[in-house]
Amino acid sequence: MKISVRFHNGEARIRYELPAEEVVESAAARLRPILLEQEDCFHMKALGALGYICRAAPRDAQWIRAARTEWRTRVNPSTLEESGYRIMVSNTATGEDRDLDAHGLAMAWIYGDVVHHDPERRHEGDAFGLRDRFRAAVPLVAWAMVGTIELLNYIRALNEAGLLELRQEVFGEQVALKSTVWEESAEMYYAPVGAEAPSLANSQMPEGWFPLNQTTDLSAFQHPIAGQLLERSPFMTQLPSPEEVEAARTPAGGWKRDQLAAWGVSWPPPKGWKDELAERWKAARQDGAPPPLPSPAPADFAQETLDFG
């Protein structure tokens, strides 16, 4: 983090520039299994396993020992010097004095403010306030992220060198969604409340279930409070392939406003809009979406969208 110090009228003022809290919260939640000893992916367990595998490779064994020492010092410091700093506060009303090092403050934020897993840690950091807890957590979370990425890259290198024999899909397994907008082919059915549900994914639909299609009378989807639950919409944002995007260029080299609107792109188009569309299209294909419609579409083509309220 960046710390600036300014002197004004004999007073020192310290300014901290930290990332947005929700970004650090997301990182801390993802890192939590890496920090917990009882988890299979605990960082020190991975280093211990590598240490055993590389026991006959002096250079690798040396790197692993250094990585273990640095991780312990940064993530589980045993002294105040290793923790970095300590904050001391005094309650003038009660006379109570409290002090806590940076590691204790960081853990109070991670396990108290973020995951609400350890009320004792949270209580330990109460006297110092959310700002001090968050400020201590940011460098810990950031360093743990870097250390985890470094270890992953080292595992990749060992695997490529033949010291490890890991299946390639271990490195390619999807662990996060690149896009939260996608399309997929489906057959849709509906039935009155209380109707027998299908027993298996590939079993026949029980009696009383009807297909949902363009001829369905949507007036049946009424709720006394919420009103119409399902209605027809004349427009649905298209998800074009990179080739379709390029094919839609005008002779002047740009794109028409209505074409961008059909793709869900605002006007004027923001920087990086083509890359974002390409990422969404690739993610949709990976998640099982149907191939894109031919471009241009036939003159008699009509697209219908059903909006669920």
Cα dist. 149→152, 153, 197, 246, 269 in Å? 5, 6, 46, 36, 34
Closest C-alpha among 282, 288, 287, 303 to residue 239: 282
What secondary structure letter does DSSP report for 109? I
Position 253 confidence tier, pLDDT thresholds 50, 70, 90: confident
Q: Report the pLDDT value the prediction gives residue 290, as an integer from 0 to 100.
A: 47
Whether the per-residue pLDDT at 296 is higher than 60: the answer is no
What pLDDT score does 281 carry? 80
Listed in sequence order, the residues at least 6 apart from 216 whose beta carbon sits closer than 8 Å to its beta carbon are 190, 210
Strands (E), 39-94: 86-90
Mean pLDDT (the chain) is: 83
* Statement: residue 189 has pLDDT above 80: yes
User: pLDDT confidence of 145, banded at 50, 70, 90?
Assistant: very high
- In percent, the amount of the chain with pLDDT more than 70 equals 87
Contact 95, 86 (CB under 8 A): no
Tens of pLDDT, residues 72-120? 998 888 888 888 888 898 888 888 888 999 999 998 998 888 887 777 7
Residues 104, 125 contacting (CB under 8 angstroms): yes
Residues 6+ apart with CB under 8 A from 86: 80, 99, 100, 101, 102
Q: How confident is the model at residue 291 (pLDDT cuts 50, 70, 90)?
A: very low
Nearest to 140 by CA among 31, 43, 63, 21: 31
pLDDT, average across residues 291-309: 47
Model pLDDT for residues 27-48, shown as the tens digit of each residue:
999 998 898 888 999 999 999 9
Give me the pLDDT at residue 169, please: 86
Instruction: Mention every residue, 6+ apart, whose C-beta is less than 8 A from residue 126.
Output: none
Nearest to 102 by CA among 143, 142, 138, 148: 138
- Distinct helix (H) and strand (E) counts, the chain: 11, 10
Q: What is the mean pLDDT of residues 131-152?
A: 93
Average pLDDT over residues 203-221: 87
Closest among 29, 60, 8, 33 to 164, alpha carbons compared? 60
pLDDT at residue 222, as a whole number: 84
**280-287 average pLDDT score:** 70
Q: Decide if pLDDT at 286 tops 50.
A: yes
The pLDDT value recorded for residue 237 is 59
3-class DSSP state of 36:
coil
